[in-house]
Amino acid sequence: MNQAVDQAGAKSEPSWTASSSTVFGLAPAKVNLFLHVGPLDAQGYHPLASLAVFADVGDVLAVEQADRLSLTVTGPFGGALAGEGDNLVLRALRALGRAAGIGEPPLAVSLDKRLPIAAGLGGGSSDAGAAMRLAREVLGLTLDDAALAAVAAEVGADGPMCLLARSAWAEGRGERLTPEPRLPPLPAVLVNPGVPSPTGAVYRAYDAGSGATPDRPPTPTDWSVEAVIDWLAHRRNDLQAPAIRLQPVIGQALDAAAAAPGVALARMSGSGATVFGLCRTEEDAKATAQAMAAAHPGWWVRSCVLNALK
């Protein structure tokens, strides 16, 4: 790997580099800086607008050639996936094999699961995206990025975004992506209070309310960290309130992050349960994470930089 992967935060570049016959990569956490969601449409989808970024923390995958396709899951959150015989990584790789015309790809995949499950961080989709990029490298496939994105779309709505793994606007059902290269790196702390927040349940709770509009706001005129934080303060996550109704501890995590001296803005990511706190400096983010981990030892807390992976 280009950069060592530390056990606490899995900070690493999401590059695809070979070491002997094995390639390694980071499946970075996805964070929705805002998420505007519309009511259910006639096709059964929710239109949305979001600006999503990726952190320099996440799960770690290793892929190598083998006699058959297999997946081994380890890591602090690996146990939660132990009963899944066909998770997103395997589904993505089988879809990739079909697209490449090679059948089931003969690969041994190891997943070090470091992100919480059902956490609003796109973990499963990010794992699938990283696995496809690594598999293309190992097998020498000629599929270009557009073909890979089409495969990712088969896996789930977050598939193309997590395959891209770069800051982007998402619109429509999440499939219309526009990269946003002007966004600066944003120091942050990620806080998960240790409860799952399944996407389907949160959307059902959202549907029971009055609904909102999937409006994409005008882009900032100033892309400095301070100005972006101020701009985001006028945005929202429409799934935050229904997620808190289902899991009140998410509200406690949000309040704790918002009250931290180093946090300038706190919001829930995706459908929860992870909350992010934007900070002005990396030093503030690290100090905040240390203090929150000490105050809430049962919570998952990490400092990170959002949009650091250019």
Q: Is 158 part of the annotated catalytic residue set?
A: yes
The CA-atom distances, in angstroms, between 298 and each of 169, 261, 285 are 33, 21, 19
Helix 123-139, helix 88-100: angle, nearest 10 = 40
Which of 59, 158, 238, 284 is an active site residue? 158
Q: Is 286 part of the annotated catalytic residue set?
A: no
CB-count burial class (<10 Å; 0-12, 13-18, 19+) for 261: exposed
User: Cβ atoms within 10 A of the Cβ of 141, count?
Assistant: 19
- Tell which residue, 35, 58, 304, has the closest CA to residue 185: 304
Under 8 Å between Cβ of 48 and 175: no
What is the H or E stretch that residue 52 is in? strand 48-65
What's the rounded Cα separation, in Å, for the pair 35 and 120?
A: 11
Which of 30, 56, 113, 284 is an active site residue? 30
- Tell which residue, 108, 100, 260, has the closest CA to residue 190: 260
What's the rounded Cα separation, in Å, for the pair 45 and 243?
A: 18
Return the residue matching tokens 């995949």. Answer: 109
Peptide bond into 18 cis (omega under 30): no
Residue 216 corresponds to which tokens in the numbers above? Answer: 């994409």
What's the rounded Cα separation, in Å, for the pair 271 and 258?
A: 18
Cite the active site residues.
30, 158
